[in-house]
Amino acid sequence: MSKSYFLLLFASTLLFLLGTLDDLVNIKANMKFLVQLLVAFLVASVADVRIVSFYGLFGVEELPTWFSHLFSITVITFFINAYNLIDGIDSLSSSVGMYVLCSFGGVFLLNGAFTDSLIAFSVFGALLGFWFFNKPPAKIFMGDSGTLSMGLILAYFAIKISNIPIDGEGLVSPVFAMVVLAYPVIDTLRVFTKRILKGVSPFTPDRNHIHHLLLELGFSHGKSTLLIVFCSIMLSCVAYALRETPTTAFATLVALILVVANIPSFILKRRKKSKKL
């Protein structure tokens, strides 16, 4: 086993144990954050699995080594928390995880990265087995132990995908990797921004997540999850279609994601206004 796979196994196990302890005794947020930084450092700097180039995005190619390490650690830490925060309704975290793993596993196969592909599809199989008990009405839940370790695994694969071709022509697209992970990322940025603007901690729990708003609109847990995964697939298709123009792809997809992400809250506000009238 190469060093990167060994460190991924060690780091994901560490997060699994951290999440288990947190589920049992409620560990302080500062301690969890420090452990997340540690595992991100292990992956990005010790295992050397990091974002090394933007491949033309904003006209930027290869990144300075110090920035590559810092940026990769930040991305990994952020996504661990982002994936943890979407575990709010039945089957959502497992369904999003399966979609991401299936997408990334296919890209690994295309590149002949059979070990990465095998790991991705193996984790997909594990999530599929879990999904049958997590689908509505859920009998079991992922909890922090599952979401923290899965968040690291998905971030690890996303960084690898951002450095390899996504088609037969050899085009590398970090935007594609970002968009496949779009839902956890945009949902977390959205709720963090709203909480900060309200003057409260970004880690304060609330029901402003997109999946909670879909429930408020009358969607079931299953239909909310299906809609989120469907939107993720459509956005990924746009990212793939625009893979030759990274900056245009990024701008287009950010605009689309912002519009799509705010539709549920817009509809709810219109409903509330109409009821007052």
Asked whether the beta carbons of 267 and 210 are under 8 A apart, the reply is no
Distance CA 247, CA 74 (A): 21
- Name the more confident of 9 and 1: 9
How confident is the model over 57-70, as a mean pLDDT? 94
Query: Whole-model pTM?
Result: 0.93
Residue 158: count of CB within 10 angstroms of its CB? 22
How confident is the model over 188-203, as a mean pLDDT? 85
Alpha-carbon distance values, 99 to 95, 124, 125, 179 (Å)? 6, 8, 12, 12
Asked whether the beta carbons of 184 and 148 are under 8 A apart, the reply is no
* Angular region, 75: left φ>0, alpha ψ -120 to 50, beta rest: alpha
29: its two tokens: 């947020």
Task: Please choose, from the candidates 191, 205, 232, 195, the residue with its C-alpha nearest in 3D space to the C-alpha of residue 92.
Answer: 232
Q: Give pLDDT, residue 202.
A: 79
